[in-house]
Structure 1
Amino acid sequence: MRIMAFDYGTKRIGIAVTDPLQIIATGLDTVHPMYIVDYLKTYLKTEQVERFIVGEPKQMDNTPSQSAIHVKGFVGLLKKTFPEVPIEMLDERFTSKMASATIAQSGMNKKGRQNKELVDTISAVILLQSWMAKAY
């Protein structure tokens, strides 16, 4: 079964998943929050997901950031819609900066580097990789 991670934003949600053996984390997609439930229902019809990992936005002093209230609402929606899938929160500080740095190092052109959807998806991959490093 796969593990799925979310980098939640009010405009886009970056999504990453593991392979079924939970060895490799891969960017899956970026979805508008309004469509996430339908997207996940469709995905879960064909793939088994063992657990959801959701990025927890924190400030440098470890207190919740301003976007934490939106993430809390998203987690509530996941729990209500997919009660059979456990959810874990994971500190997401620096994932967007790390994603931007990864994209910059890739040699991608300026237009590609400014693609916010790509940043969100790679942020979800970094989040998932961090969870995998702790879990295994």
Structure 2
Amino acid sequence: MDFGAQVKKLRNSRHLTQEQLALKLNVSRQTISSWENNRNLPDLEMVVTLAQTFQISLDQLILGDPSMTDKLVKDGSEMRKIKLTLYVTLVMILAGVGCFLLFSVIGSTVDSDGILQEPFFLVPIGYLFLLLGLIGGVINLVQRRQNKKHH
């Protein structure tokens, strides 16, 4: 049985209208209709909420529909990519800040020949890390918005 038919069967067995189920799940009636007509599938969080609402296991709710299983695997993969991008972004920003802190801690000295000794290379490297972190943050925001639009 496909996912939409499963949701409709469960809803009808509990004598709920689409509107009543939508209120319980905090979604629109049109969302319930689109699930039941297989025009759209819920995200993983909503699938868990549906299973809890109907007091059934996730296996009972989704394993009968291969398209639902595929969607959940794809959603999990997308979330892992978003988390990885976020971690890389944070590491880049921390590395940039670390470069600036290291530059200020090391400081500069003048040797006996009158030559200035300073770790000048840390400044452009710090800016590079900050720029890469900023780019990663923008990519992360775009991925999150695309992920939310699809759900």
TM-based fold match above 0.5: no
Higher CA-based Rg: 2
The structure in which a higher percent of residues are helix is 2
Q: TM-score, normalised by structure 2?
A: 0.21
The structure in which a higher percent of residues are strand is 1
Q: TM-score, normalised by structure 1?
A: 0.23
